[in-house]
Every structure is written in C-alpha cells, then in structure tokens.
Amino acid sequence: MSLTAAETTELLPAREVQLDRAVRVGLIGGLTAMFIVTSGMLETFDLRMIVDPILSLGYVTLMAAPFAVGYVAGKAPPVLEGYAAPSVGARNVQAGAIAGALTGAIYALYALIIHVLDFSSVFIKLTEQTKKIVTLDMGAGGVLILALVMAVSGAVGGAVHLLERRWKRAVLYSAFWVVMFGLLEVLVSQIAFVRRISAVKELLYGTDAGLTLIGAVIIGGLVFAAYYYLDGRVRAATRRAMALEGQQRRRFILISLGVAIVFLAVLPQILGPFLSEVLDLAGVFLLMALGLNIVVGFAGLLDLGYVAFFAVGAYTTAILTSPVSPKWSPELSFWTAIPFIILAAAAAGVMVGTPVLRLRGDYLAIVTLGFGEIARILFLSDALKPYFGGAQGMLLIPDIDIGPFTIDDSISFFYPIYAFVILFAYLSYALQDSRVGRAWMAMREDESVAEAMGVNIVAAKLWAFVIGAIFAAIGGALFAHKIGSVFPESFAILVSITVLVLIIVGGMGSVPGVTVGALALVALPELLREFAEFKFLFYGTLLIFMMLNRPEGFIPSRRRARELHLDEVEQDAWLAQAAEQDPAPAE
Amino acid sequence: MALLEISSLSKAFGGLHAIDKLDLHVDRGEIVSVIGPNGAGKTTFFNVITGMITPDEGEIIFDGADLAGLRPNQILALGMARTFQNVRLFPNMTVRENVMVGRHTRTKAGVFGAILRTPAFRAEEEETKRKAEETLSFFGTRLVGYRFDQPALNLSYANRRRLEIARAMGSDPQLLLLDEPTAGMNPRETLEITGLIGKLRDEKGFTVVLIEHDMRVVKGVSDRVIVLDHGSKIAEGPYDEVAQNPDVIEAYLGRPATGTA
Amino acid sequence: MAQATTTARRRTRRLNPIDAFLWLIRIVAVVVILVGLTNSLTSGRLSAQQWRDLMVFGVSQGSVYALIALGYTLVYGVLKFINFAHGEVFMSSTMIGFFAADALARSGMWNDQPIVSLFIVLIVCMLTSTLVAITLERVAYRPLRGSPRLVPLITSIGASFFLQYTFAGLFGVGTRSWPQVEILQGSWQFLGFRIVRTQAVVILAALAMMALLYVFVERTRTGRAMRAVAEDQETAALMGIDVNRTIVVVFGVGGAMAGVAGFLWGLAFQTVFFFTGFLPGIKAFTAAVLGGIGNIAGAMVGGISLGIFEQVGPSAVLAGLGVEGFNQLKDVVAFTALVLVLIFRPSGILGERLSEERA
C-alpha cells in the first residue's frame, strides 16, 4: 500500500491551536488550583523554600497549574498526514494566556469566597494560615496579584512552544532542576557534611533550606548549558556504543560493569548513613519491583497481593534466625536461612498460583489482592500468634555476618541489598532472553495461541509466580534483618500498589526502567518526608497519568512500547484491510 | 493406518450443532481440503481437534494416540500444528522469535539452564535460532535477513500469513492444519501459496489439511475434498467428483426452485 | 523429521496434577467446613437467638455489598473491565452524605422531619456518587477504550488511590460519624427474628432498588440498549445505539446504586473515613463474582450470601475448629469464599449473564 499521493496533492490547511480548547483546559487548571488550596498542599508546601527569600514550594505548585494548562493550551494539535504544519506565533501565547487567565480568575474567585466565608468545618485544611497564603496576606489586592501572575504564567507556558526544540528542552529542564535542587537540599547537605565540602553548600543554599538566589542562577545556568550542549550528543554516543561488535563490545561491557561496581562500592561511603538508609529502602523495593516485573511485565499476570511474598520472606527469616521467635527458634544465620526462604517462597508462589491458573486476567488481580489481605490478617491474628507473634510481631532478628564483617548499619546493609539487586537484574535479563522468557512473552501476547503453539501455560504461569515470589521473599528477608524485627503492619496492600507504581512508571518489562522507577519513587518521598500525606495522592495521579499518556513507562522496553501504543491501531488497520479484501464473514 | 482418525465427533454451542457426529480420516502424506458454506463448522472442527475446545463426544485418534483430555500444547507436541483464520501471531515478538516459540515443544531448556547459561542451554538456543531461520528461508527471501529482527506486526498481511505457517512448521509437525491460508490475499499471492502447499508435502513431508474458500486453490492442491454442512460430512472425494455432487451444490446455492430446470 | 515421532502412543487418560491439586483443595475445604459446622452447632456456644441475630446482621451487611456489587457487575458486563475505583465511588457518597446529614442535624431538621431529611440525604448521596462515577468514566476510562486489558485496570487502581487521598486531603483523615435517626432506634419482631430497625430499612431499601434496577434493565429502552452494548458494541452501534451514551448510563446507574449503598451504610454503620470504600469495594466485587458477574440478580444473591458467610462463618466454622480470636478473621472468611468460588464454580452461583463469557 502506497500513500505517496499525499506528496503530489496540495496539503490541507494546518490545524491551528484551538482557543475553545484553551478555555476547557483553563477550567481544569482552575479546579486544580482550588484543589491545591483546599487539600492543604499549599499550606504544607509553603513551609519549604525553593529560592530562599522569594519563592516557596507552595507558590511553585500553585503557579505550576496555570503554567501547565498554558503549555497544553498553547500546544498545536498533532500534525496529521496531508495537513500542513501549523506556524508558531502569537496564537500559542494567546491560547496559553487565556487558559492561565481563566485559571487565575477561578482561583481569585475561590480565594475571595474562602476569605470571606468559613468552610473549615468541612474542609479542615482551610485554616487561617492557608487564607493568609492565598491572599499573600494582603487581602483582595494580593489575590489580584496572584491571579495576574497566573495569567502571565499561562502565557509563558504557551510561549514555550515558540522556542526551538533544543532551547525548549534546555529551558524546561533547567526550571525543573532548580526546583529539584531546591527540594533536595538534604541530599547536598548530607554529602557536603560527610565530605566536608561545605563551601559549595553554603554558596548554593541559604540557612533555611532552599536555594539562594545565586544558587538558583548557578544551577539553572549549569543545567541549561548542559542540556543545550549535550542535546543529541548523548544519543549519538549511546548509538555508537550499542553498535560495537565482538571484541570491542565485550570490552565496553566489561569496562562499564567495572565502573558501575566501583561506583556502587564507594557510593554509601560518600553518601553517609542517612542517605544510605534511603537507598537501602529503595533497594528493598527494587528487589520487589524486579520480581513483580517478571510476573506482570514479562508474563502479563497482574498480581495485586504481591506483598504477601515479601511478608513470607520476612517471617520465614524471623522464625529461622531470631532467638525469641515464639514457637520454634532454630537461630540460623541469614545465609543458612536463605535456602529455606526460597523454599517457603516457592511454596507460597505455587499456593497462590495454582487456584488462579485457569482464571482470566482481571479475576487474577482481585484474587491475588484477596490472598495478600488473607496473609496480612493471618500474620496479625491471635489464632496464629503462637507462631508469628500477632500484632506484637517478632523481634531480635540478628545482623548479617559476611566472613569477618558484620552488616549492622545502613552503610553496610547497602552492599548485600545491592548485591542481590545486581543478581536479580542479571536473572531478569537471562530469563527474558531464553526459552522460558519467550514462553512468558507469547503468553502475555495471546494466551490461547501460545498454548496452541506448544507453551505449557500451567508451567509458565507457575514459574513466573514462583520466581516473582522468591525475589520478593529475599527482599523481605533483607528488610527483616535490616529493621531487626517484623510487624504485620509493614505488609499492607499499599506496599503492593507502591511496587506496581514503580514498575509502571519505569516501564513494565524493562529492567533499567524498573530500576530507575524504584530509585526515584521510593527515594524521593523518603527525602521529602514532610509531604508524606500527599505521597499516595501523587502515586494515584501518576498511575492515571502514565496509563493515559505513556503506558509503556518512562524507560520502556523495546517491545512494550510497541505493544501499548500505535501498533494496536496499525494492527486494526491491517485487519480492516484484510476484511475488505475478503468479504467472506468469519465462520 | 490413517494419521488422523475421527469418529462420531460432536460439539454443540447451546442448541447449535457446530459439529454433528462427524467421521473422517486423513492418511499420511495427503493434502485434504475441508470446504463448506459459512457456518458449516470448519473452524470449530480445527478448534476441537487441536484441543482448544473440548468436544461433547467422539473420539480423535492421532498417530495412534487418543487426544481426549489433552491440552493444546500436548497435542502440538504429538505433531499437529495449526494456523488461524484471522492470523494470530505474537505481534510484538520478532519474526524469528515467533518461530522460536513454535519450537517450544521440541526444546527442553528450563529456568536453571537459562540462569546458569549452561553449554547445553547455549547450544540449544543456537540450534533453535538456526532451525527458525532455516524454516523462514522456506518462503524465499520474504522473511529473512533484516526481517528476522522485525516485530511481526510490521509485516505485510501476506507475510503475516506466511509467518504463521512458518511458526506452525517450526514445531516439526506431522500434520499441518491451515485455516484459510489464502484469505485476504491477491491473486498472485494466492497462486504462490497454492504452490507452497504442494511443496509443504513434497519437500517437507507434512500431511496437510486446509480449510479454504477459494475453489481454485482447492482444485489446485487437494488429493481429496471433504465437504461439511451443518457440522456433518455431506460429500467426500476428488475435487471434480465433489464439485458435481448435487448435495454440495445445494449446500452452497440452496435448494433449486421446483419446476425450473 | 516429520516421521521422527511416529511411535504409536499408549492410550492414556491423564489426570492432570493441577486438577488433582484443585480436587484436593475442594475436598479439604468441604471437610473443614463440615467439621467446623458440626462442632459449633453441637457445642451450643451460641443460642438460637444469637444465630438469628448474626444471620440478620449478615443479610443487612450483604444488602449493602449487593448494591455496590451492581456497579461492578454492570460495568463488567458491558466493558469487561473491573472498575477498581468503584469502592471509592461508594465512599464518596457516604462522605458527602455525612456533611448533608450533619448540616440537617445541626439545623434540627434531622429529627423533626426525619422522612424529608432522609430523602434529601439520599438524593445527595446518589447525586455525588453518580457524578463521581461519570467523571471517572469520562476522564480516566473513555480515552482507554480498546487498549490492552491491563491498562484500564491499572488506571482504575490509580483512580482508586487518587480518590481516597483526594478525600483525605479535602476532608481530613479523621473518622466522621453520621447522626443517629431517632425513629430508627430499637427493633421490630418479625417471624421470630428480631430485626434492628436500621437493618430492616437497609434490607428493604436494597431489595427495592434491586427490583427497580431489574425493571429498568429488562423493560426500558435504555436498559435494552445496555444489554445490546454488553452483547456486542460494534453491532449495537450499527443498530443506531449511542454506545458512549449507554456506557455513561451504565456508570451512572452503577454510581447511583453505590450512592444508595453509601446512604444505607451511613444509617447502619454511621462511621466513614477516606478508606471506608476499600474493603466493602473488594467484598462487593467478591459478591459480584460469587453471584455470577454481569448478572444483576446474581449481585443480590452473591451480596447476601457473602454477608451471611462473613457474619456467621467465623462463629459457625472457625469457632468449631477451635481457632482463637475467630472474630478477627471475618475478612479472611470473605476472601477465602472468593477463592473457593473461583475454584469450585468460576461463573458464580447464578452464572454469568448480560453477555457470554469471552476468555
């Protein structure tokens, strides 16, 4: 089929930015701004300075709403085949400004209403402090100023489209990183504290967290320069590295592995105890995420009770190693306990897997969720208290010994955790690229055809469950050793959901994606503990956003990207075409 | 002895008898066409003998083994492979991987081999890959070279049909079931597939059963034609004989109006 | 090579190990339940009156599950998709209903004009949850129609958490308590059963709503359109049915039923906080599966059965087995019921309806 006709015929006029769309997104922006105020985000975020005297995270968030809607409103619709590309110009800015102004107007109206009337018995976050913040503590005048800034912010959002791609990226990323650096003061100050390079820290940050003006300018400038300079070059370098063959390729892989290992070896020493603690936790989640990636990402089985396997690992460790476990207390070391943990996990995987083998995909989600809850309630129950300690949990889980070393603090725990991370990442790659991995993939694509082509569905599903369970159980065991105790509350459904978020944001089926996703989404909230109440709101929003806009994740696997995007459309087009050619209806 | 022997096979969906007391056999080395009007139960017949649907009653003996109670993957392992009327590939797997999945039952590597990358595992993986490429080269240059690493969904419609046949061939079957292999193809491609079906038997030694609507194909390749209507066999024999059979003509065209000749 | 595997194979009727294992589970489950039941019933630990109370409580709890289950069943029937966020649709109505009821109670109208106020609150509840359900459909699910099955499912999980924590953000994480309705204090006697009045209202209201919905789906034009869309969207569209509108109606009706459930929950159990929807949501889904998903009568049967299992099960079975603290294990009983149903009879008690199962 050739579509060369488009080249010869006249192009249709470009589809321009729609102003009525700007009104619609402006309304959404207004609602978002109202939500930011009413949910208490504004007040909580206002306590955190980004650029010390002038800009708090609260106002950044508030202004991000009109900026985002301005950006969306000012973006031209995608260019379809046969249409001319729209020119950029005043119309983009205009649309952005309309959206921003509308957001500002709604905000202003709402701010005035809550300033006059008292809703605090219903919306408990509408405190006096919030009221001060929404008016800049200047009454109606302050509201007006903020609304105007919002309109401008929307216009700026629209104006971003006037920039050439390279500039656009550089500008957006430098703004993003200024905010990130403002937020992550703790990260820099911890490293600076450990390494005694506090001069840099003092230059960048004020006394009260948050960047100084100079700091903001320096970071913004550096990031801008980096993105502007590196644009395209990084990609070219990666492509060159990927294209290496034979001997060279092997050498390249060895060198990068060596660099990575040295980097990991010194990392906790540089970061110090607090940041290592954060990385340890992220590592434990990463172990689970790698396991769930096999179950969901490779085999396509949505398991929502995944935390149960994590709990099995933790409790098995506790029983086997702790001297005070209630009924039976063999006091093994971590290493001798590992084979038993693996066995217990495999048994749990088979137990959960077997009844659900013949079920359709979405039933599986609910049943596994049920299993997860059953496990948690049983661990918590009085009935099994003699074995698992009930609500009091199990204590005194010993440290891990490796030869002469004792793993007992956050810095040393980094090593076993990340050793397992590397092992599991290797296992994921090895399995993906094998007969078993192909069977999983085929099953994910079309279960009944996979079976007709010889794949033993029962075995494939059970293996996925068992391997996933083992990964999570090892994670649970390390977690138990690290904390030194096990409590049923650590194994709530929220953990399962969190792990699911990690692999979806990173990219289902993609090991690097899952890794980055886990590190970012576990470590960041740990560093921003003061905003913990908004963590799950953020996760929920992120899930919806990813599914609507980027279901393949930020760092997708090659395959998954194809699967979840255009190709369904492409395939349907093929089928339609086939049906046209052969009008005989299906039997 | 016949390769495939079916006796009094029945399958009903609710009140509809998709297959009704069907008896038939396929001999080794034959090319048999199954034809019949739409809704005659042809695809259901394939689904039942490959184990994707459980029959209500009847016996299926393939290569001396009773297929009752076997899962589709076990039936494939015995040597019966099929294609689908509406082309069901694994669209996001590469062309080569699709055929490699077809070889699943002819390979053994398990989880431990994959993890430890044992020599046996590597040798088998190499062998699987080589066999897959060899199978693909059966279709000339259409599915080789850079196509090996293309996802199946990037293929043209005709190539998808070819790949589906290759995937079935990959499992080293004795009996190949082709469900409308030329549906949706243009006349030139149809001609090519017709030639190919002959080659499948003559060069590769497969026994072939195909469901087909295009009578030129049926006429061109079949040793024997079986006509189904309402799930039962209404005629059987060489193409020319069957084409003259009044029952068959009636099944396709309806009962001729009385009084007119 | 085709001749390589030509040996005649022995004719064997293989017993699949998986099937064997499932049979083992079935037998063990039946034995355990029977032993537990016999022990409990012969021990005389609870009087007949107490058993009856538990039953009534189970039925009223189950009625609420049944109403929520309708939302799952309708949406699943039409879109083949589990709207995971439906529990939160239910929670939203109880939460907003609380504010309406609280305002009425403060103004004194709650007990002066109980019928009128209850009616007002019921309308508020239904409007809230209908609105939430329709918004969800429009914003989160409609753009995803036709994507791979996991995508909308994951979206609905995201929506579930989004709604929970939105409500936590707006109204705080504390527990709110509906005011008591004076005329519904005390209990009625009925055929030897003592029924607390609120429970009676819950059961009757739920039955009435079910009947209404049944008539709506079976007898009205819109109901017919719903069934047609459930059967085959494309054909329905070709027959001139507005598929999008019909799907909105499906979400709306499911939401309205969840609104009634939220209202009844407020009357019967009073307390509500942002996580209130989670467990009833999962259990209502369980109820829908139990009765046969996609089947409206099934939702009722499944809901009430689940309510009874959950209330009576711990005392009847677990206590008989000598399990300590058996009352903590209510939820375990409910989830085990789900697993057992899926093992014994995946199409549910009454079987799937609305449309045939598509694997």
pLDDT digits 0-9 by tens, A340-353: 999 999 999 998 88
* Domain contains B190: yes
For A85-107, write each residue's pLDDT tens digit.
777 778 888 889 999 999 999 99
CB contact under 8 A, B104 and A445: no
Among chain B residues, CA nearest to A464: B111
Please state, for a pLDDT cut of 90, what percent of chain A lies above it.
25
Phi-psi domain of A40 (left: phi exceeds 0; alpha: psi -120 through 50; beta: other): left
Beta bridge partners of B4: B26, B62
Q: Residues of A with CB below 8 A from B76's CB?
A: 452-454
Q: Residues of C with CB below 8 A from A458's CB?
A: 18
CA distance A556 to chain B (A): 13
* Domain contains B251: yes
Highest-pLDDT range among A339-348, A398-407, A484-493, B112-121: A339-348
Q: Residues of A with CB below 8 A from C163's CB?
A: 540
For A424-461, write each residue's pLDDT tens digit.
999 999 999 899 999 999 998 888 899 999 999 888 99
Residue with tokens 């903020």: A146
- Section C66-86 average pLDDT: 89
pLDDT of residue A196: 62
Q: Report whether A455 contacts A439 (CB < 8 A).
A: yes
pLDDT of residue C358: 36
Residue A563 pLDDT greater than 70, yes or no: no
For C278-331, write each residue's pLDDT tens digit.
889 989 988 888 888 888 888 889 999 999 988 888 877 777 777 777 777 888
- Section C229-243 average pLDDT: 86
Beta bridge partners of B61: B5, B66
Bridge pairing between strands B207-211 and A49-51: unpaired
What phi and psi values does residue C271 have, to the nearest 5 degrees? -80, 150
Nearest CB among B101, B105, B171 relative to A438 is that of B101
Domains (range + CATH), chain C: 47-344 (1.10.3470)
Mutate one of B66, B105, B203, B206 to test the C interface: name it (highest C CB count within 10 A). B66
For A284-295, write each residue's pLDDT tens digit.
999 999 999 999
CB contact under 8 A, C2 and B206: yes
CB contact under 8 A, B63 and C5: yes
Mutate one of C14, C75, C335, C347 to test the A interface: name it (highest A CB count within 10 A). C335
CB contact under 8 A, C324 and A382: yes
B66–C contact, CB cutoff 8 A = yes
The CA distance from A318 to A487, in Å, is 10
The single-letter DSSP state of residue A83 is B
CA distance C16 to chain B (A): 9
Please state, for a pLDDT cut of 90, what percent of chain B lies above it.
27
Nearest CB among B65, B68, B173 relative to C2 is that of B173
* Amino acid type, C349: I
CA distance C150 to chain B (A): 16
CB contact under 8 A, B79 and C13: no
Residues B195 and B122 in one domain: no
Residue with tokens 């929502």: A304
Neighbours of A395 (CB within 10 A): 16
* Amino acid type, B211: I
pLDDT band at C198 (very low <50, low <70, confident <90, very high): confident
* Amino acid type, A520: A
Among chain C residues, CA nearest to A355: C343
Nearest CB among C8, C13, C16 relative to B64 is that of C8
pLDDT band at C119 (very low <50, low <70, confident <90, very high): very high
CB contact under 8 A, B113 and A434: yes
For A35-76, write each residue's pLDDT tens digit.
999 988 888 888 888 887 788 888 999 999 999 999 988 888
pLDDT of residue B80: 92
CB contact under 8 A, B72 and A452: yes
pLDDT higher for A388 or C95? C95
Nearest CB among C2, C11, C16 relative to B174 is that of C2
Residue A362 pLDDT greater than 80, yes or no: no
pLDDT of residue A5: 45
Domain that holds residue B8: 1-80+184-207+214-261
The CA distance from B133 to B170, in Å, is 10
For A239-260, write each residue's pLDDT tens digit.
787 777 778 888 888 898 899 8
The CA distance from B6 to C185, in Å, is 71
Residue C86 pLDDT greater than 90, yes or no: yes
Q: Closest Cα to residue A373, out of C158, C70, C337? A: C337
Q: Report whether A66 contacts A153 (CB < 8 A).
A: yes
Mutate one of C3, C5, C18, C19 to test the B interface: name it (highest B CB count within 10 A). C5
Q: Which has the minimum average pLDDT: A399-413, B29-43, C298-312?
A: A399-413
A310 contacts: CB under 8 Å, gap ≥ 6: A288, A472, A473, A475, A476, A479, A491, A495
The CA distance from B181 to B177, in Å, is 10
Neighbours of C283 (CB within 10 A): 29
* Amino acid type, C43: S
CB contact under 8 A, A355 and C157: no
A61 contacts: CB under 8 Å, gap ≥ 6: A36, A41, A42, A45
pLDDT of residue B99: 93
The single-letter DSSP state of residue A486 is B
Average pLDDT, chain A: 83
Question: Strands (DSSP E) along chain C, which ranges?
Answer: 176-177, 187-190, 193-196, 271-272
Q: Report whether C165 contacts A557 (CB < 8 A).
A: no
The CA distance from A118 to C118, in Å, is 26
Q: Report whether A539 contacts A548 (CB < 8 A).
A: no
- Section A523-548 average pLDDT: 87
Neighbours of A4 (CB within 10 A): 6
Residue C8 pLDDT greater than 50, yes or no: no
Among chain A residues, CA nearest to C167: A39
The CA distance from B23 to B234, in Å, is 11
CA atoms within a 13 Å half-sphere pointing along the CA-CB vector of A549: 8
Long-range contact pairs involving C207-214 (C-beta distance under 8 Å, separation at least 24): C207/C63, C207/C300, C209/C67, C209/C257, C209/C260, C210/C66, C210/C67, C210/C70, C210/C296, C210/C297, C210/C299, C210/C300, C213/C70, C213/C253, C213/C257, C213/C296, C214/C296, C214/C297
Tell me the domain boundaries of chain A.
13-162, 165-231, 255-486
The CA distance from C77 to C74, in Å, is 5
Q: Closest Cα to residue C336, out of C306, C304, C356? A: C306
CA distance A28 to chain C (A): 11
The single-letter DSSP state of residue A430 is H
- 3-state helix, strand, coil split of chain C in percent (to 5) is 75, 5, 20
pLDDT of residue C93: 95
Count of the separate structural domains present in chain B: 2
Q: Report whether B225 contacts B35 (CB < 8 A).
A: yes
pLDDT of residue A193: 64
A20–B contact, CB cutoff 8 A = no
CA distance B259 to chain A (A): 31
Nearest CB among A371, A377, A539 relative to C331 is that of A377
Residue A499 pLDDT greater than 80, yes or no: yes
CB contact under 8 A, C170 and A39: yes
Chains linked to B by 3 or more Cβ pairs within 8 Å = A, C
- Section A513-537 average pLDDT: 87
> Could you tell me the two tokens for B176?
């190949």
The single-letter DSSP state of residue B39 is T
CA atoms within a 13 Å half-sphere pointing along the CA-CB vector of A584: 16
Burial letters A288-311, b for 16+ CB under 10 A, else e? bbbbbbbbbbbbbbbbbbbbbbbb
pLDDT of residue C354: 44
> Could you tell me the two tokens for A316?
């098995």
pLDDT of residue A360: 67
The CA distance from C182 to C112, in Å, is 10
Which residues from C are below 8 Å from B when comparing CB atoms?
A: 1-14, 16
B110 three-state secondary structure = coil
B91–C contact, CB cutoff 8 A = no
Question: Strands (DSSP E) along B53-189, which ranges?
Answer: 57-62, 65-66, 80-82, 175-179
For A106-134, write each residue's pLDDT tens digit.
999 998 898 888 888 888 888 888 888 88
pLDDT of residue C353: 53
Residue A579 pLDDT greater than 50, yes or no: no
H/E stretch holding B33: strand B31-35
A261 contacts: CB under 8 Å, gap ≥ 6: none
pLDDT of residue A553: 80
For B53-92, write each residue's pLDDT tens digit.
888 888 999 988 888 888 899 999 999 999 998 889 998 8
pLDDT of residue C258: 94
pLDDT higher for A29 or C190? A29
* Domain contains B177: no
Please state, for a pLDDT cut of 70, what percent of chain C lies above it.
93
Among chain B residues, CA nearest to A562: B92
pLDDT of residue C4: 35
The CA distance from B4 to B236, in Å, is 16
CA distance C246 to chain A (A): 22
Q: Closest Cα to residue C94, out of C214, C329, C269, C294? A: C269
Among chain C residues, CA nearest to B67: C11
Q: Closest Cα to residue C230, out of C212, C200, C253, C208? A: C253
Residues B231 and B252 in one domain: yes
Q: Residues of B with CB below 8 A from C6's CB?
A: 63, 174
The CA distance from A97 to A107, in Å, is 15
Residues B99 and B32 in one domain: no
